[in-house]
A and B are shown apart, each in its own frame.
Chain A
Amino acid sequence: MSLAVDGDRRSLRRSARAPRQANPGLIPLGVTCLIVAALVLPALYSVIVRSFTSTTVLGTPGSATLDNYRELFSQQGLLTIVRNTLVSTFGATLVAVVIGGGLAWVVERTNSPGATICRITMLLSLSIPYILYSIAWIMLLGPGGPVNAFAHKVLGVGKLLDAHSLGAMILVEGLIAVPLAFLFLSAVLRTVDASLEESAAVSGAGALRVLLRVTGPLTLPGVIGVGMLIFVRTLEAFEIPALIGLPGNVRVMTTTIFLSTEGFPPDYGTAGAYAVLLMVGVAGLLYLANKINKRAAAFASISGKPTRARKADLGAVKWFGSAGIVLYGLIALVAPMGIILWASLEPYYSAPSLSQVSHFTLQNFAHILSLQGFDQSVVNTVVVGAVAAVAIMAISAIGIWAQTRLKTRGGWVFEQAATLPLMVPGVILGFSLVAFYVSVPLPIYGTLVILMIGYTARYLPYGVRYASAGMLQIHASLEESAAVSGATTWATFRRVILPLSRPALVSGAIFIFLMASKELSMAVLLAAPGREVMSVQMYHLWSNGQTTQVATIGVLWAGVLLVIMGGLIWFNGRRGRSLEF
């Protein structure tokens, strides 16, 4: 005991003698920036160079050219394409932010029952691969599918929504992004100073008024940031436009561009040019968002008196919140997973009907479980996802700490660099990584390491968001107290900042694990014989036209996740905590 006191005193003396370093964040910032650069720059360099290079008949880089950019702007019907792109992207972002944000508020800020169910719903929908989700919605909305059959029989209308329409695209892209919005906005809401809302409530403001006048403005920077993230993600993604839009001739920017990357030999030039333009555009937007976020300093809210986030008592209205949770769960998870379960039990897919029930079989499950290398691919998925999740959160925590807490000069470089991978489509990132690491004489290419590098680079932007949401709102007074008590910069990080932001960091890790486990476009290119991940197995089955077997993997994976989540809840429950993500 006396020893510890002595130690403390010594460090106190030392810091009293030597004033704090002028720039304590320089080393952590430098180190994390170097790591991020090593992860991101090879791919980025390759994308930029590729966008200015022609493609030879072999699919290898040719000579310098501007044709890739020219091709972007010379697509037939460019005006319609741009309009479709804007409408679907804005529409999907709006759907995601309104539903995700609304539910986040219900769960975090009201006493509506069903919070845990809502969180589990979100996590499960987050982990559904895009291919599977698109297939499910095509089945739901397709001819003979239950949605339009219901519309026809019960409502008497011909068709509620065409499976291959702009509306369907907005719906599916929006729904797929809801968990993103929900999780990020929950994190934001959880850190808003409850005392401000309490003051408002005490002054007689109703729940709605508190939401609009206090909670809303406080969370606005967060909402804008999340909206932008989803906007870019939707602009960059091509699976859903290709599967849902293209057959109905609803074309967006990515559709034809990515048809070239599937050509033989593939042409990555135009896709690269699109990625470069996206990066330039988003860099501008990020700059604006940073300006807005600077203002957030005024709202710093985890203060010396930690207040448990206040839950508004909605009275009987609270059941509306619960109804919203249930309705969302039905539409976004139960219906698509229901039809996937249905498909997994059928020898070949056909729309749900009583007569098909007699065809039910477990042959798909038997087949998948006996598939060569399936169990190994599950192990690979878990290992790679977990390594990437931990690596990302460590890098993000240290980098964001140096940037936002230590206010290191040039800290924005970290966040900007770490956000860049968001704009590089997975297939391009995968291709670039292969092109780079195939000639690096280290055991990276052809091993699981290249997948870990790929996932870490690809999901770094999300980790950074989680870390900054967790750290941005820790009040400076806590660090100041630590410093005054003689703690070194590192000790402050370890003993003050890290524990306070731990929930956000853990949520981030879980989030990244789920996102990474379903990643496909990159994994297909990075996989080597025997080192495949589950999503690649799913992809192969899918391209073999074995939809019912793809559905079966989906059901099995959902089962695995349910078990993991059940374990988490049980574990948390024993420690007297509820599940928060």
Chain B
Amino acid sequence: MGATITLLSLAACGSAGSTASAADTAKVATLTGANRTQELISGAKKEGHLLWYTTMIPDQIVVPMVTAFEKKYPFIKVDYYRGNSTDVAQKALQEFQAGRHNVDLVDGTGTSSLLAQAGMVQPFKSPELDSYPAQLKASDGTWGPELQYMMVLAYNTKQVTRAEAPKTYEDLLDPRWRGKMAWSTSATSGGPLFIGNLINAWGADKADPYIDKLATQKIANLDVSGNEVIDQVVSGQEPMALEVFNDQVEVAKAQGAPIDWTPLEPVTAQISRISLVKDAPDPDAAMLLLDFIFSEEGQKVIQSSGAIPARPGVDAKVKALKPEGGGFKAQYMDPDMTFKQTTEWNDLYKQKFVG
């Protein structure tokens, strides 16, 4: 009972913390000059912590990142909440609209677009972003890149050999693959994204007839995350999977799982984007974490986790994962446009493949 009371009282004061006024947040986010980092540090010392809603895998990426950051800035405690894009975006949005300003940073592939549309993003400037090309950052400072995802075809090596595995989108139409493929129903990976990538790359005139033909291939719709689809290929439940994360395939491969991947060009490239929330209560600490994530030091943490660093010049641990290392062509779609068309692609996907 004593434990219960302690828990409850802890829970009750959880939302208390440092507060910065709206004007402060905007000022801190766009600080420039030689003393910028020093000013952020002295502000962060007063704040003492920050809150981050993340879609990245905690034990693989978030925990190592937070550990490295807290080691560099021992006076900042990073709290995080983990969920998928939908959970994270909804949570941040509902809180913001109810006037609760707890969270400082939110990330995800589509999340930034949604939050920007809701008017709850604070544009920021980080000198670290100078090293990034235009396609990997927002021109208006509403987001910066954490890492990249490359969506590829994965196959079970006990059931499909490297020579047999499809190399192009046309190869997927071969009757021998009917009923042998699976993808996630997730709107931000899997089937809908696959369709969207082709429409973007080929235009509707070429993509539509192809999608109709693909729909006769009986692709299994798995209502699971992209990573779980990979697990089902590993276990042999599904011989092949489309539009899955190549870095996660490598993680499984490294454990000895019978799985490998091949890029279908153009490969769908996604960027995990992070945004600063308007009226964030801990802007100084949040800006320090943003700088850290974009920096070479932070991107090295991404590298050693096995994921694909966003920063040019920082290779993936397995070099072939990154387009420049693996020698494959990837299509970076405009994330805001992708977000706008997600519902459309999702509807088309449900109509052609689920219905």
Q: Which residues of A contact B (CB under 8 A)?
A: 57-60, 75-77, 138-139, 142-144, 163-164, 242-243, 246-249, 251, 255-256, 259, 262-266, 347-351, 359, 367, 371-372, 379-380, 383, 387, 431, 434-435, 438-439, 443, 445-449, 524-525, 527-531, 540, 542-547
Contacts and interface: CB of A to CB of B under 8 A. Distances in A.
Contacts of B231: 348-349, 545-547
Nearest to B182: A247
A273 B100 CA distance: 29
Contact of A143 (B11, B90, B237): B237
Contact of A264 (B57, B58, B89, B355): B89
A449 B228 contact: no
Given A259-B354, A449-B11, A528-B81, 9 more contacts: A58-B117, A143-B237, A249-B221, A263-B342, A434-B91, A438-B94, A446-B102, A542-B228, A544-B60
Contact of B227 (A75, A255, A527, A543): A543
Interface stretch (B130-138, B185-193, B198-206): B185-193
A524 B84 CA distance: 10
Given A259-B223, A259-B350, A379-B7, A528 B14 contact: yes
B15 interface: yes
Interface stretch (B30-38, B252-260, B272-280, B317-325): B252-260
A264 B230 CA distance: 22
A351 B235 contact: yes
Nearest to A131: B224
A347 B83 contact: no
A446 to B, nearest CB: 6
Given A259-B223, A367-B59, A540-B58, A144 B236 contact: yes
Chain B residues touching A, range: 35 or more
Contacts of A543: 84, 224-225, 227-228
A271 to B, nearest CB: 13
A246 B223 contact: yes
22 contacts: A57-B343, A58-B93, A58-B114, A144-B236, A242-B223, A251-B354, A256-B355, A259-B354, A262-B223, A263-B187, A263-B346, A264-B85, A264-B110, A265-B89, A347-B257, A348-B234, A349-B234, A438-B94, A439-B99, A443-B11, A446-B15, A545-B228
A319 B126 CA distance: 75
B3 interface: yes
Interface in B53-100: 57-60, 63, 79-87, 89-91, 93-95, 97-100
Given A246-B185, A351-B235, A447 B8 contact: yes
Contacts of B229: 545
Contacts of B355: 75-77, 256
Nearest 4 pairs of A and B residues by beta carbon: A545-B227, A447-B11, A76-B355, A242-B223
B187 A262 contact: yes
Given A58-B118, A142-B236, A529 B80 contact: yes
Contacts of A264: 85-86, 89, 110, 114, 187-188, 342
Contacts of A144: 236
Contact of A262 (B59, B86, B222): B86
Nearest to A541: B59
B236 A263 contact: no
B278 to A, nearest CB: 15
Interface string B1-20: 00110011001111100000
| Listed residue (A164, A449, A544) with the most chain B CB atoms within 10 angstroms of its CB | A544
A164 B118 CA distance: 40
Contacts of B13: 443
A259 B227 contact: no
